[in-house]
Structure 1
């Protein structure tokens, strides 16, 4: 159950005179908090960090700043989070690719699970299976049949070698028994010209990245990638419902701290970050990005991270995915 502090409740009903923040047992926080985002500005991880910072600061009575560390596929910034003092003053936002890092990066300088204290999952972002109009298929079943008629001739795109979209497309092709080529690009946006032209024939993208193309008829949405129906396209079946059992392509975000965070500080941060995430303006902003706020407990976030890391590591190993061609 979501727990709201008095400060969060006041914000929800428009109260301008907020009560003084209730501090953790050691007086935390008594100085500014930094959120490290190990990704480039403008992406969903960055937007998440800044939304939390803006809405958390008035709840706790201290400035909350965001610092971007977009290098080495996020490894540099995530290393900074792992190596920071576990005092609650350095936090981080990680996304689903964090759970893939152990299987992809040789000599990773941290453990994706044990080096961190999960505070809360922020949101789940809807992914959708899309094809260009040149593909003669309007359902997942028709796509599978079409691809089997053209073995080795069709290609799936990705936002880069070892990216979420690479893993999900490779997983789909393998599970459906398809012989397809992988063509990596430098990001989802970079892949779109070829995709729209039919040079590549399959993609798994977040709803915000492709919604405009779907709505104006430049792309066809065949299925929701995740385990549930898409809020944006509720009539679409999931890939699992359409004939690929067990398939569930999710993108998510999570707030973490270094391992060893004191329990009272963890409780304080979870309660207030959850309250910030549940503010109507924040929920609405996530919805515009095709994401649903989760705002769960530290225990639930930890269980999710462990499960996702295990699943992705096994998938990456079985599919033979690496960071190099």
Structure 2
């Protein structure tokens, strides 16, 4: 049916209003910035630094809202479900790259319900052992575990956590048999490692470096692609004879999938500026983090690769999350 002439004549008058609506300034009111971990945690520290810059750059408050629980899944789900156009967030590896494989009833689909705006920071992990373990390097550790199948234990901050998966990957590659002891948090796992109740752990470098420097635990390898400035004497896994096994803990800036691409790009741009501020960058690097500040396309490719890698490992090894 032909469009009425009066409608056609009205279109030119309507176009400026439509264009203005499409280009309306954002945000129009305060923005919720959801961090799915407690105040004072590393993701919270990174998120607050970025949120403070956003508030200056966009001219509206970015209010950090801590929504901890379920390894970050609760807060990440809140971002995925947001429909107000004024909610973004920060999350870590698990909720984006492994949760779907670990939790069949996950209430959101990371690939469908979320947009990855930027990979903000990443941190290497260290393979550390109690000093009683008679191994000065990774080769010695592998030999010792092989000589004592099923007798040594390693800790993590939970089944399916980054440290658990990194150790499971190493064990699969090297044919090792160790007992996994999951903890509900990093402090208790560290206490038991220092006390010798467990023999080994793969853990984010920033959390264990003080114990390494004090000689309370021994670092055998770092999971980064290159040696890290905070522990320059610790070889990488590749240098120690295990190539293509690098892994990181990382933080990503996220938004609901409905967020306009131009807005996502602007968020990524401003996040990179926030991370480049000398005080912020210095604090993050001192804490063992490598500042990335990627764009949306690079971040999406990275998360997709991480999802394929770790979900495949979880499926292949039959790893289950705690009930």
Quick check: TM above 0.5? Answer: yes
Match of 1:255 among 253, 256, 266: 253
Secondary structure of the 2:224 match is coil
Q: Deviations over 1:210-239 (max 9, x none)?
A: 111011111111111122211211232211
**Contact residue 122 and residue 249 of structure 2 kept, 8 A:** yes
**Contact residue 227 and residue 238 of structure 1 kept, 8 A:** yes
Equivalence map 1:189-208=2 (5 Å): 189-208=187-206
Structure 2 unaligned blocks of 5 or more: 1-21
The corresponding residue for 1:228 is: 226
The corresponding residue for 1:92 is: 89
**Contact residue 221 and residue 234 of structure 2 kept, 8 A:** yes
The corresponding residue for 1:9 is: none
Match of 2:124 among 126, 139, 142: 126
In the alignment, the residues of structure 2 paired with residue 31 and residue 73 of structure 1 have an alpha-carbon distance, to the nearest angstrom, of 30
After TM superposition, give the deviation of residue 86 of structure 1 in Å. Answer: 6.9
Q: Deviations over 1:145-185 (max 9, x none)?
A: 11111111111111112211111111111211111101111
Structure 1-normalised TM-score? 0.89
The corresponding residue for 2:25 is: 27
After TM superposition, give the deviation of residue 71 of structure 1 in Å. Answer: 2.0
Alignment of 1:184 with 2:182, yes or no, is yes
Structure 1 unaligned blocks of 5 or more: 1-23
- Deviation larger for 298-307 or 78-87: 78-87
**Contact residue 86 and residue 262 of structure 1 kept, 8 A:** no
In the alignment, the residues of structure 1 paired with residue 150 and residue 70 of structure 2 have an alpha-carbon distance, to the nearest angstrom, of 32
User: What is the root-mean-square deviation in Å for CA atoms of aligned residues?
Assistant: 1.5
- The ranges of structure 1 where at least 4 consecutive aligned residues each deviate by more than 4 angstroms after the TM superposition are none
**Contact residue 72 and residue 94 of structure 2 kept, 8 A:** no
Match of 1:140 among 115, 131, 138: 138
In the alignment, the residues of structure 2 paired with residue 144 and residue 86 of structure 1 have an alpha-carbon distance, to the nearest angstrom, of 52
Q: Deviations over 1:43-71 (max 9, x none)?
A: 21111111111222112211111001112
Structure 2-normalised TM-score? 0.89
Find the structure with the greater CA-based Rg: 2
The corresponding residue for 2:277 is: 279
Whose helix proportion is higher, 1 or 2?
A: 2
In the alignment, the residues of structure 1 paired with residue 89 and residue 28 of structure 2 have an alpha-carbon distance, to the nearest angstrom, of 19
